[in-house]
Structure 1
Amino acid sequence: MQSIQLFFTEGTSDKEYRAWISETDDGKYLVEFAYGRRNSALKSGKKTASPVEYDAAVKIYEALVKSKTSKGYTPEGGGTPYANTDKDGSVSGVVPQLLNVADQKAATDAIHNDNWCMQEKFDGRRMMVRKSGSDVQAINKLGLFVGMSGPVADAAKLLDGDFIIDGECIGDRLHAFDIFESGGEDLRSKHYRVRYAALTELVGGSSNIAVVPLWESTDDKDRMFTELRENNAEGVVFKRLDAHYAPGRPNSGGSQLKFKFVDTLSALVTAVNSKRSVGLSLHGGDGMEFVGNVTIPANHDIPNEGDVVEIRYLYANPMLYQPVYLGVRDDILPEECVKSQVKYKSSADVDSGYDAENAGKPLVSKGGDLNPGVYSVDESVYRVGDTGALSEFRRGEYRQVRAQGDVQDASYKLKNRGRHTTEAELKSLGKESGRCMMCGVALEDAAARARGIGSSCAKKHGMG
């Protein structure tokens, strides 16, 4: 019966992957796998949802082995990445700079810091394009050669000289945001401001390769942050203008940070259910933890057990709420499917932080920060979220207070003269504005408008 033991060693990573075919009592076969850190307990799973004929098992097994070797696993104990693999999926020798996630505070700080610029984050596939003479190649975030769109390749061939540009590919368009080699010169040690200027000069008005716009001033960043969020963009990326290009991902922080307006995560398929549905799990402190099922749209193939898939969701509590399947991710390793990706509260909860129990708490914590809640001061009503985000009720809706001076002024007034907004006031303002004063969303029906509080908030806080 076929089996294989593979290894991957790069930097601090030292991983092992095993795959094998096993026979069942009824004479059919399963494709099974196990993976984890070398010389440690391995996590296991099945690539086949149910037993299959031998020929089918062999095809699944061979495809599994090919997918792992294309990601850098080798049968040799040394685990030298991408040795003896085909060109597609083999090592390129180029490693991109990877970004950590910014929280709301880090995003606000970057908006108000002139050393940081901001760009839109696109919902595509990370792709670097390397041109050498007439040869054009695409490289993914793992540093592997991959296929690329013909129009993007043709556009790259028309650009002058040799180069490596970095971007996000969506369909037949590459949204380029960086360049770290040009005309034989290594630009990695140059400041981002210099690299961006070189990228803009190189690309010019190319139709299938476009330079991602950049905003530097606080006013521009603040305006575009709000506009992009309201237009349901994927998110934004903040970059230090004086930073060099640093391949790999830092342990924390870094000179480039991403802030998402929508929540997505990479999960491992651990079950294939009936009616085009699969079960999802993430690595947690106690091993693999089930986080829910997701329906596979008709225009997507059903993924196999062991596949890494991209999921968009509203929040988790603790299961994923309103998950949406986006597709298989062949550029993300199973080990990266961890629980730390998950956002465990709804956006409304994070924004409002309101809880009936907060009415009995002081406005200011022992550490001197404002506690989550809804407060009134003078003629204004403010909402303090669990993350410390501050919003003011203005012109019939909550608007986040972003300018640092405005935040400081509002915080000072609240700490010195603020009071808890009463339930009666919340309901009165809700009826007047047509919005729930706890979560900020529009009141959904006649009963909610008559009550002045949204149905979910009324139920949650006992405010019928």
Structure 2
Amino acid sequence: MPGIWPGHHQQQERYPPASAGCGALFPFEKNMTEELAKNTSLYSRHNGADKVYHAYLRKKDDGWTVDYAHGGRGKALKVGTRTETPVAYVKALKIFESLVNSKKNGDSHYQEGEAGTAYENITDSKELFGIFPQEPTAIQRAALKALIFDNDWCFQVKANGENRLLSIKGDCARGGNKKGQVVSIPTHWLTEFKALGNFVANGEHVGDRFIAFDLLEYEGIDMRGWPQRRRFAKLLEMYDSMNDVANVTPSFGVIECYYTADEKQALLQRAEDIRLEGIVAKNARGVYAQGRGPDSLKFVFREVSTCIVMARNVQRSVQVGLLNSEGDLVSRGNVTIPPNKPVPEVDALVDVQYMYDNGKSFVISVYDPDNKSPRSDVERHECTLSQVTRTMPDEEYVDPEAYHRRQCA
């Protein structure tokens, strides 16, 4: 797809040697544990899965932490820690070894090797990034088509990743999620991206790459009050200013923006032909506003809603539901869990793709199509019936069985 620059880069994380400290009271004592940082990369292909798990034993302040990152290979990894605060090395080492052994001996049958992307600043805290992302509001196809001939609106492809805020300032890199909370990012992003200067951008975290669609700050200048057209021009200027940018920053890309009617019409047709996730329409005169608003809209070619698990069934399926306008949890039927994915717990938040909603349940439902479940970046109160925009088939009749075959192809 034009506008998304390809590239792939992986960099092994390096750890500085631990300080020797003051040493033992006697030079011949050898019973002290040598304090060394450790990391182990595991992978699993059990039951058709292809996922990775990274465990880290790291020096932090006056103690040590045990952190982890896991998920599908090539996906944005979910991160966490086994030590909320730094602990003594001996204790941390025991936690680290116990974590690694539990994964090797668990149901997923992890094995060492085949390392994926290393992550840094692993955190599951609620620290705020300082900016909340702009989120598009869902619209119907007719509304999107009307914007094709409106010169004040532009189109971008909706990338199939996680919304990510990214700040690169000197030797400091920070990531933010759709909740505006600080999240971990791949280690090599800072190494690569600081060549672009000091900036804050909004984009998608796709695999181990950052695909930008908006620029919010550059070299100390806050551009959130600039119109979208001007912000995007500055993003391209920043990107194109690098000589041999594809080799210097291969993990950084830009989602192209289309402004003319012919470009928008061609993009919509192309996106439908190759079954991309959808189109985001933006007011080219609009400023960057946090949250949902009238200046950022989206149309998706498939319907995916984040639902609440209401019950686990006897077979490998769960009942899912959404909150109505009164806050009551209303069932949308059952969805089957594939054999290569764990059955989610009750009250977990999971993604369900479907053809349409018939008023009582989802028709032709597919569990977790993008490997994002359970969702940690979505709140329970967001799982509402208002997400559902496809309440009946399109104008032309679509055969459900043929639709299902296409989804499974």
TM-score range, shorter chain: 0.5 to 0.7
1:89-146 CA distances to partner (integer Å, 9 max, x unpaired)? Answer: 3212211112111222321121111111101001211001111211111100100011
Assess, with a 3 A threshold, how the Cα gap between structure 1 residues 298 and 130 changes in structure 2: closer, same or farther: farther
Per the alignment, in what secondary structure is the counterpart of residue 350 of structure 1? coil
Matched ranges for 1:195-234 at <5 A? 195-204=231-240, 205=245, 206-234=249-277
| Equivalent residue, structure 2, for 1:319 | 361
Per the alignment, in what secondary structure is the counterpart of residue 106 of structure 1? helix
Assess, with a 3 A threshold, how the Cα gap between structure 1 residues 272 and 155 changes in structure 2: closer, same or farther: farther
Contact kept, 8 Å, 1:128 with 1:166, in 2: the verdict is yes
What is the CA–CA distance in structure 2 between the aligned matches of 1:233 and 1:180, rounded to whole Å?
26
1:290-339 CA distances to partner (integer Å, 9 max, x unpaired)? Answer: 11122223333332222211111111222112211222221111011111
| Equivalent residue, structure 2, for 1:336 | 382
| Equivalent residue, structure 1, for 2:348 | 307
Which amino acid counterpart does residue 137 of structure 2 have in structure 1?
Answer: N
Contact kept, 8 Å, 1:128 with 1:139, in 2: the verdict is yes
Which amino acid counterpart does residue 263 of structure 1 have in structure 2?
Answer: E
User: Could you tell me which of 224, 228, 250 is aligned with 1:188?
Assistant: 224
Q: Which structure is higher in helix share?
A: 1
| Equivalent residue, structure 2, for 1:276 | 316
Assess, with a 3 A threshold, how the Cα gap between structure 1 residues 343 and 442 changes in structure 2: closer, same or farther: closer
Contact kept, 8 Å, 1:271 with 1:278, in 2: the verdict is yes
Which amino acid counterpart does residue 155 of structure 1 have in structure 2?
Answer: E
Question: Shift of the alpha carbon at 1:87?
Answer: 6.8
Question: Shift of the alpha carbon at 1:343?
Answer: 4.0
Which amino acid counterpart does residue 273 of structure 2 have in structure 1?
Answer: E
Is there any run of 5+ residues in structure 1 with no aligned partner, and where? 1-65, 71-85, 353-438, 445-464
Please provide the CA RMSD for this pair: 2.5
Which amino acid counterpart does residue 289 of structure 1 have in structure 2?
Answer: V
Question: Shift of the alpha carbon at 1:344?
Answer: 5.0
User: Could you tell me which of 138, 141, 154 is aligned with 1:101?
Assistant: 138
What is the CA–CA distance in structure 1 between the aligned matches of 2:136 and 2:390, rounded to whole Å?
22
Contact kept, 8 Å, 1:269 with 1:278, in 2: the verdict is yes
Assess, with a 3 A threshold, how the Cα gap between structure 1 residues 299 and 183 changes in structure 2: closer, same or farther: farther
Which amino acid counterpart does residue 323 of structure 1 have in structure 2?
Answer: S
Query: Is 1:172 the counterpart of 2:215 in the alignment?
Result: no
What is the CA–CA distance in structure 1 between the aligned matches of 2:356 and 2:124, rounded to whole Å?
40
What is the CA–CA distance in structure 2 between the aligned matches of 1:279 and 1:323, rounded to whole Å?
11
Query: Is 1:263 the counterpart of 2:306 in the alignment?
Result: no
Assess, with a 3 A threshold, how the Cα gap between structure 1 residues 133 and 225 changes in structure 2: closer, same or farther: same
Question: Shift of the alpha carbon at 1:441?
Answer: 6.3
Question: Shift of the alpha carbon at 1:153?
Answer: 4.2
| Equivalent residue, structure 1, for 2:115 | none
Assess, with a 3 A threshold, how the Cα gap between structure 1 residues 344 and 194 changes in structure 2: closer, same or farther: closer
Query: Is 1:111 the counterpart of 2:148 in the alignment?
Result: yes
Question: Shift of the alpha carbon at 1:225?
Answer: 0.3
Question: TM-score normalised to the size of structure 1?
Answer: 0.55
Assess, with a 3 A threshold, how the Cα gap between structure 1 residues 177 and 272 changes in structure 2: closer, same or farther: same
Assess, with a 3 A threshold, how the Cα gap between structure 1 residues 188 and 443 changes in structure 2: closer, same or farther: closer
Tell me how many residue pairs correspond in the alignment: 270
What is the CA–CA distance in structure 2 between the aligned matches of 1:241 and 1:216, rounded to whole Å?
8
Contact kept, 8 Å, 1:95 with 1:143, in 2: the verdict is yes
What is the CA–CA distance in structure 2 between the aligned matches of 1:88 and 1:328, rounded to whole Å?
18
Query: Is 1:247 the counterpart of 2:290 in the alignment?
Result: yes
What is the CA–CA distance in structure 2 between the aligned matches of 1:112 and 1:263, rounded to whole Å?
25
What is the CA–CA distance in structure 2 between the aligned matches of 1:285 and 1:127, rounded to whole Å?
29
Contact kept, 8 Å, 1:117 with 1:215, in 2: the verdict is yes
Per the alignment, in what secondary structure is the counterpart of residue 271 of structure 1? strand
Per the alignment, in what secondary structure is the counterpart of residue 199 of structure 1? helix
Question: Which one is further off, 257-266 or 86-95?
Answer: 86-95
Question: Shift of the alpha carbon at 1:442?
Answer: 12
Query: Is 1:236 the counterpart of 2:236 in the alignment?
Result: no
What is the CA–CA distance in structure 2 between the aligned matches of 1:308 and 1:443, rounded to whole Å?
27
1:136-194 CA distances to partner (integer Å, 9 max, x unpaired)? Answer: 1110010001122334444323322x211100111112221001111011000111111
Which amino acid counterpart does residue 315 of structure 1 have in structure 2?
Answer: Y
Displaced runs of 4+ in structure 1, greater than 6 A?
440-444
Question: Shift of the alpha carbon at 1:285?
Answer: 4.3
Contact kept, 8 Å, 1:129 with 1:164, in 2: the verdict is yes
Assess, with a 3 A threshold, how the Cα gap between structure 1 residues 199 and 285 changes in structure 2: closer, same or farther: closer
Assess, with a 3 A threshold, how the Cα gap between structure 1 residues 109 and 91 changes in structure 2: closer, same or farther: same
Assess, with a 3 A threshold, how the Cα gap between structure 1 residues 183 and 333 changes in structure 2: closer, same or farther: same
Which amino acid counterpart does residue 269 of structure 2 have in structure 1?
Answer: T
Which amino acid counterpart does residue 374 of structure 2 have in structure 1?
Answer: V
What is the CA–CA distance in structure 1 between the aligned matches of 2:318 and 2:401, rounded to whole Å?
34
Contact kept, 8 Å, 2:186 with 2:208, in 1: the verdict is yes
Assess, with a 3 A threshold, how the Cα gap between structure 1 residues 264 and 231 changes in structure 2: closer, same or farther: same
